[in-house]
Amino acid sequence: MMRRRTTLLASCTTLALALGATACGGGPVAAGGGGKSLSGQTITVAGVWSGSEQKNFQKVLDAFTAKTGAKTQFVSTGDNVSTVVGSKIEGGNAPDVVMVPQVGVLQQFAKEGWLKPLSKTTEQSVDTNYASVWKKYGSVGDTLYGLYFKAAHKSTVWYSPDALDQAGVKPPTTYDAMLKAGHTVSDSGLAAFSVAGQDGWTLTDWFENIYLSQAGPEKYDALAAHQLKWTDPTVVEALTTLGKLFKDKQLMAGGQKGALNTDFPGSVEKVFGPKPEAGMVYEGDFVAGVAKDQFGKKIGQDANFFPFPAVDGGKAPVVSGGDAAVVLKDGKNQKAAMTFLEYLATPEAAAVWAGAGGFLSPNKKLDLASYSDDIARETAKSLVAAGDSVRFDMSDQAPAAFGGTKGAGEWKILQDFLRDPSNPKATAAELEKAAAKAYQG
Amino acid sequence: MTATLVKEASPPAVNMADRRRRARRRGRIIALVFVLPALLLLGALVVYPVVFSVGRSFFDASGSRFVGGDNYTEMFRDPATLKAVRNSAIWVVVAPTLLTGLGLVLAVLVEKIRWATAFKLLLFMPMAVSFLAAGIIFRLAYDEDPDKGVLNAAVVGVHDAFEGTSSYPTARARDGRGLTKGADGSYRTTASASPGHTVGLGLVGVLPKDLPKDAKPAYAAAGQQAARDELRGVVYLDFTPGGGGKEGRVDRGESGLPEVKVEAARDGKTVASTTTAADGSFHFSGLDPGSYTVRLPASNFSPPYEGVSWLGPALVTPAIIGAYLWIWTGFAMVLIGAGLAALPRDALEAARMDGANEWQIFRRITVPLLAPVLTVVFVTLVINVMKVFDLVYIIAPGPVQEDATVLATQMWLVSFGGGNNQGLGSALGVLLLLLVVPAMVFNVRRFRRSQR
């Protein structure tokens, strides 16, 4: 009983906040034309979120209900969205809206003919509120199917301010400076980086940031689509650059062997845990969540970040990802679903979750003041400021056999490269071999 | 499955054979009615999937193009599959042999102790733990970090009790700052020094909190003048907390490193050795004139013993087999124990009367009499080991997944775990089936024989 009351209270507060934001912002609110126009209808939303993410998204849903009168229901799909949604469609029980976590899945849905193009209103909001790259990643061909509601920022290097102060170094702005700062940190007695080599995906993220900055966005897109071969000299160069870090025992906690035995939570622990072994750890904005929830660090004070530095005179990379909302053709309440997406495209909806924390919005109209803490504000600012140079995680765009399988493809090959970084050329050839096989299948 | 089929189908057939003709026909119909549900079930659940898999293995990933034997040739070209075949072979040979042996020894020994039931219960208990849970437990037990993995904690504990640890495992010298690293991990001065000189040996890579409590700043000691027949020096931490220090020089506030072994060597021979004081200073007195090299032996820096990398590429399969043994030993023991209980006591007693010792009884009587039971246990385990999946999938960490893979995991990975090539996966399934068939046939034959 107690619990229900608190939730009620919480949602009331958010509602008040949301309404307040609308009143103050006075932005173009297209949703539902006001009033309780959709009362009596129920829309079902499916997504991968669970736990606190689901709870916070529920606040967004509640705000929508309060605005339009439509009832909402959230279904958590677990990790494998495409399988769950596919079986629901076949079973005649399709959800109205799905939050898809990867570009590849969105394209797969569109190809299967499951998606309905988004309404004109939503498209207009996307045109005015978002950098055009987000529209591109939400479209298949020229048709807009997906609206990116929640984004991730995967170009953040997290550090312990104590460790950097102890070593007397400042957050670097170039890759070489970062390695140099790393050496100084290592001289002070801590390893510079903790690398989560046991989880292949962290290594692909390292590579993607270096490649995006060094080779530029055009090459990045070509490589992501496998129009460019992995044997390309730019890939070899990026691997060489990454190898500078991997082959240096002083820079990685535990050396190569230690890195290969560290999983992602372990790598955060090595920097922010009770017994620090390293000063910096690279991964996305979600590092903050782990540092805060598991190790009780105060974000902004005991844990801070600097943007992934520029490599060889390139622009500092911003690698991203996100959850896109799509409307299913087989859903029962498509009109309400469209209205819901129109609502999600507004800064008002984004502000609801931004205030609850653990959220980044690619919506540039969202007032940065809506974020609950400074670090989220900083990451959001960097994401929005990057505008059209934002690129999506390459391995998420690749077929799963190449970019998303434990012990195979890119994950495995980069782990081998971490074990022995002496021959980038051979590694590139391996990558090309695996990619050729996966993309053709 | 096949065994059940035989059991259900043959007794009626055998019984019907010696009935009268009229009754025989009726009997046949009744038999058919009784067998039909089983046949239908088996057909739907066993025969159809097998036939489907065989058919599917001739098609490509999408299932629409006939590729003939391509999947089979592709299968044996892929190094991962070859590794899976090799690992499966290791599993099939090692695991059942060890298990049957262990089970036999334990069963015989358990018979002779007082708390036999409690002991059996204890050993049988892991059977109640699911493979998934057991996998997670062993993944932790095998963890390389001695703070997490209990096995390495034990190994490191034992090792350190005998060997002791060095005082500065993380310390190292900067490149090109007067110290050269030897092949064994020791450091020596690049330039030679002679009595009457003072040398500064700067090291880095030690956290302030890892310094011994009594460490004092080295600045004063570095400034001391050496007597004529004396070689002085200071071993110090060449890093100013917060930055700003000058490399290769003793700055104010930089700490000395106490308890470091220092040697003076002449022409490659150690002529004197000492340890540093609290401020990092040391001196060799009474040296003959000439030039010396000052060395910091490797024992100062030997890295802490890291234990065994159980889950490294070399040991991962034996490690997983170890986990498998933990689960199945109880099973083997209980089965063999049951066989043991049914042994004719008179044979054993007669042997004892004739003066045979326990080992002879075990070798010459118990084992031969138990042979049928041992074979059943062995073959059952072979079939079981063939399909081992969960333990391998859970215990092997990502980077060594491929080194640990067996046919069943490979089949799953290829078909669903990202490869999404169910054609190739079916081909692997067919291979697995072909490998299990001999064991099946053997078991069925044995059942038949024992029924006659």
pLDDT of residue A336: 92
Residues 6+ apart with CB under 8 A from B5: B38, B42
Do A164 and A308 lie in one domain? The reply is yes
pLDDT by position in tens, chain A (length 441):
334 433 444 444 444 444 434 333 333 344 444 456 788 889 999 998 888 889 999 999 999 999 999 999 999 887 777 778 888 888 888 999 999 988 888 888 888 889 999 999 999 999 999 999 999 999 998 999 999 999 999 999 999 999 999 888 999 999 999 999 999 999 888 899 999 998 889 999 999 999 999 999 999 999 999 999 999 999 999 999 999 999 988 899 988 888 988 889 899 999 999 989 999 999 998 898 888 888 988 888 899 999 999 999 889 999 998 899 999 999 888 889 999 999 999 999 999 999 888 899 999 999 999 998 888 999 999 999 988 899 999 988 888 778 877 777 898 899 999 999 999 999 999 999 999 988 875
pLDDT of residue B313: 86
Judge if A433 and A351 occupy the same domain. no
CA B449 from chain center: how many Å?
Answer: 40
Single out the residue of B285, B270, B288, B178 nearest to residue B226, CA to CA.
Answer: B285
User: Is the Cα dihedral A241, A243, A245, A250 positive or negative?
Assistant: negative
Question: What is the pLDDT at residue B268?
Answer: 79
Mean pLDDT in chain B?
A: 85
- Distance CA(B110)–CA(B103), nearest Å, equals 10
Q: Does the pLDDT at position B215 exceed 90? A: no
The answer to whether the Cβ–Cβ distance between A405 and B399 falls below 8 Å is no
Look at A407 and B398 and tell me if their CB atoms are within 8 Å. Answer: yes
**d(CA A65, nearest CA chain B) in Å:** 39
Asked if residue A336 and residue A210 are part of one domain, the reply reads no
Range from A299-303, B3-7, B26-30 carrying the lowest mean pLDDT: B3-7
Q: Which of residues 354-383 of B touch A (CB under 8 A)?
A: none
Residue A127 lies in a domain: yes
Distance of CA A310 to the CA centre of its chain: 20
pLDDT of residue A16: 42
Radius of gyration, alpha carbons of chain A: 22
- Could you give the CA distance from residue A265 to residue A282 in angstroms, rounded to a whole number? 12
Query: What pLDDT is stored for residue B137 in this prediction?
Result: 94
Q: Which two tokens stand for residue B386?
A: 């063939």
- Looking at residue A216, its amino acid is G
d(CA B245, CA B256): 14
Angle (CA) B146-B149-B153 rounded to 5° is 45
> A189–B401: do the CB atoms touch at under 8 Å?
no
Q: How far is A387 from chain B (nearest CA, A)?
A: 32
Mean pLDDT of B277-292: 85
N-term to C-term CA, chain B: 20
Q: Which of B170, B243, B311 sits opposite A189 (nearest CB)?
A: B170
Let me know whether A40 and A84 are in one domain: yes
Class of residue B78 by CB neighbours under 10 A (exposed 0-12, middle 13-18, buried 19+) = middle
Q: What stretches of B57-78 show up as alpha helix (H) in DSSP?
A: 70-77
The mean pLDDT value of chain A amounts to: 86
Q: Residue with structure tokens 């072909």?
A: B434
Nearest Cα neighbor of A147 from A343, A370, A372 is: A343
Q: Quick check: B418 and A408 CB within 8 A?
A: yes
Regarding whether A265 and A122 lie in a shared domain, the answer is no
B37-67 pLDDT tens trace: 999 999 999 999 999 999 999 998 777 889 8
* pLDDT level of residue B174 (50, 70, 90 thresholds): confident
Tell me if chain B has a CB within 8 Å of the CB of A257: yes
Please name the residue that has the structure tokens 């003709």: B21
Interface test with A, best of B144, B203, B316 (most A CBs within 10 A): B144
Report the pLDDT value the prediction gives residue B177, as an integer from 0 to 100: 77
Give the CATH number of the domain where residue A345 resides.
3.40.190.10
The residues in B 275-314 lying below 8 A from A, measured between CB atoms, are 309, 311
A408 touches B: beta carbon within 8 Å: yes
Are both A249 and A280 inside the same structural domain?
yes
Indicate whether A25 and A129 sit together in one domain. Answer: yes
Task: Write the DSSP string, B424-446.
Answer: HHHHHHHHHHHHHHHHHHHHHHH
pLDDT of B30: 92
User: Is A119 found in the same domain as A73?
Assistant: yes
A165 to chain B, any CB pair closer than 8 A? The answer is yes
Amino acid at B76: F
Quick: pLDDT tens for A72-86.
999 988 777 777 888
- Bridge partners (DSSP) listed for residue B189: B179
Q: How distant is the Cα of B15 from the closest Cα of chain A, in angstroms? A: 49
A25 domain residue, yes or no: yes
Average the pLDDT over B293-308 and give the result: 84
Write out the residue range of the structural domain in which residue A286 sits: 158-318+399-440
Residue B6 pLDDT more than 60? Answer: no
pLDDT at B100 over 90: yes
In a domain, A151, yes or no: no
**Is B204 in CB contact (< 8 Å) with chain A?**
yes
Contact A198 B210 (CB under 8 A): no
Whether residue A43 is found in the same domain as residue A58: yes
CA-based diameter of chain A, in Å? 66
Q: For residue A76, is it within any domain?
A: yes
pLDDT score of B44: 93
Burial class (CB in 10 A: 0-12, 13-18, 19+), A32: buried
Residue A364 and residue A305 in one domain: no
Token pair in block for residue B404: 């640990």
Residues A289 and A435 in one domain: yes
Contact yes or no for B396/B311 (Cβ under 8 A): yes
Question: A170, A249, A261: best mutation site toward chain B, by most B Cβ within 10 Å?
Answer: A261
Helices (H) and strands (E) in chain B, counts: 17, 8
For B57-74, give one letter per residue: b (16+ CB within 10 A) or e. Answer: bbbbbeeeeebeebbbeb
In a domain, A232, yes or no: yes
Would the CB atoms of B419 and A405 count as touching at under 8 Å?
Answer: yes
Residues 37-66 of B with CB under 8 A from A: 61
What residues does A97 pair with on adjacent strands? Answer: A45, A327
Under the banding of pLDDT at 50, 70 and 90, the label for residue B18 is low
Contact between B200 and B222 (Cβ < 8 Å): yes
Sequence length of chain B is 452
Identify residue A205 by its one-letter amino acid code: D
Confirm whether A152 is domain-assigned: no
pLDDT at res. A24: 38
Give the DSSP H or E segment for A55: helix A51-68
The number of folded domains in chain A is: 2
The residue among B405, B384, B385 whose CA lies nearest residue B395 is B405
- Chain B positions touching A170 (Cβ under 8 A) are none
What confidence tens digit (pLDDT) does each residue in B398-421 have?
788 888 999 999 888 888 766 667
Chain-chain contact of A168 with B240 (C-beta, under 8 angstroms): yes
Ramachandran region, residue B307 (left: φ > 0; alpha: ψ -120 to 50; beta: rest)? left
One-letter amino acid identity for A161? P
Check whether residue A302 and residue A334 sit in a common domain: no
- Which residue(s) pair with A153 in the sheet? A320
When mean pLDDT is compared across A283-292, A309-318, B194-203, B443-452, the lowest value belongs to B443-452
Of A363, A385, A407, which closes a domain?
A: A385
**Spatial separation of the C-alpha atoms in residues A150 and A379, rounded to whole Å:** 13
Count CB atoms within 10 A of the CB of residue A30: 17
Residue B399 forms contact with A (CB below 8 Å) = yes
The mean per-residue pLDDT over the stretch B348-364 comes to 86
Is residue A50 included in any domain, yes or no? yes
**How far is CA A317 from each of CA A83, A154, A204, A401, B269, rounded to the nearest angstrom?**
33, 9, 14, 26, 56
